[in-house]
Amino acid sequence: MTDHTALHRTVLGWYAAHARELPWREPEAGPWAVMVSEFMLQQTPVKRVLPMYAQWMERWPTPAALAAAPSGEAVRAWGRLGYPRRALRLHAAATAITEQHGGEVPTDHAELLALPGVGEYTAAAVASFAHRQRHAVLDTNVRRVFARLVDGNEYPPTATTAAERRTANELLPEQPETAATWAVAVMELGALVCTARTPDCAHCPVAADCAWRLAGSPAYQGPPRRGQSYEGTDRQVRGRLLAVLRAADHHADVPQAALDAVWPDPVQRARALDGLVADGLVQPVAPGVYRLPG
């Protein structure tokens, strides 16, 4: 078995000196705060999450507080974070925590994974960051660090592979507390230094051992990487429709005419609205009348 002690010491030392001060990392934050942050941070940068996180935690400081609110209020409070289905999933998780776990976020990884809306990544992240357990936590940043450092590739595959999981588990420190800090340290390294577009190799603590850098930083050779286009997409239309519904008074009905005004293409507009209804984000209450879910 390869000894990774030197690697651990280097990355953990860098993290101790450079970690950002974030509210969900504070000792008093608690498991619920960690869970909320993980839902919000999926596909959304920290700077956009911070103000919404503060408002959310002030309003719903516990799972029971959120579970007691209508799911539509969660969608309304989600604001412009994007991917609003996350708000419904977080509300469903809070309800399950309240009804099945006495209002306390489970400590067991399998119980976390069984919560609605909680996938493999989120379960591992909460178990690691909140409960200080030993789990490999593979988000986009971590996968990119390992792709470059270990595999010599600029970017990881589109979907997480078994080989990536093996690498992550092989590099995971044995002691749970150290492993939990390692998990967030590698993530921070990917977020601040080993970034997707402009990696700062000159300030990377493991640059001397990076397989990608040692190979001359070869250009990416894999399948085309999808961009994050937004303008003119159904996502943009969905966002505009939801903005109208969020702006309505509490539990107020919104007529079709108000929704029709936000997008000129009736076919795309109807498709986006149908998708919102199918996802449970919008509730039809009568022909041509809609509201956020109750």
The pLDDT, as a whole number, for residue 227 is 61
CATH of residue 256: 1.10.10
User: What's the rounded Cα separation, in Å, for the pair 206 and 193?
Assistant: 11
The pLDDT, as a whole number, for residue 222 is 74
Cβ atoms of 119 and 112 closer than 8 Å: no
Within a domain: residue 178?
A: no
Query: pLDDT digits over 23-54, tens only?
Result: 999 989 999 999 999 999 998 999 999 999 99
State yes or no: pLDDT of 230 exceeds 80.
no
Within a domain: residue 75?
A: yes
The pLDDT, as a whole number, for residue 220 is 82
User: What's the rounded Cα separation, in Å, for the pair 128 and 121?
Assistant: 10
The pLDDT, as a whole number, for residue 1 is 46
Which one of 76, 108, 130 terminates a domain?
130
State yes or no: pLDDT of 7 exceeds 80.
yes
Query: Which of 21, 38, 174, 177 is labelled catalytic?
Result: 38
Within a domain: residue 138?
A: no
The pLDDT, as a whole number, for residue 79 is 87
240 pairs with which residues across the strands? none
Neighbours of 61 (CB within 10 A): 14
Task: Provide the sign of the torsion angle of the four alpha carbons 79, 50, 127, 157, taken in this order.
Answer: positive
The pLDDT, as a whole number, for residue 233 is 87
Within a domain: residue 40?
A: yes
Strand-by-strand arrangement of the 283-286 sheet: 254-255, 289-291, 283-286
Within a domain: residue 217?
A: no
Within a domain: residue 167?
A: no
- The answer to which of 77-91, 125-139, 159-173, 227-241 has the lowest mean pLDDT is 227-241
- The answer to which of 132-146, 150-164, 224-238 has the lowest mean pLDDT is 224-238
Which one of 101, 130, 159 terminates a domain?
130
- The answer to which of 58-72, 162-176, 280-294 has the lowest mean pLDDT is 280-294
CATH of residue 123: 1.10.340.30
Query: pLDDT digits over 90-125, tens only?
Result: 999 999 999 999 999 999 999 999 999 999 999 999
Within a domain: residue 48?
A: yes
The domain tally of the chain equals 2
Within a domain: residue 37?
A: yes
Nearest to 5 by CA among 174, 188, 149: 174
- The answer to which of 64-68, 80-84, 108-112, 198-202 has the lowest mean pLDDT is 80-84
Which one of 85, 111, 130 terminates a domain?
130
38 annotated active-site: yes
The overall average pLDDT reported for the chain is 93
The pLDDT, as a whole number, for residue 80 is 84
Domain that holds residue 247: 234-291
Predicted TM-score of the model (pTM): 0.87
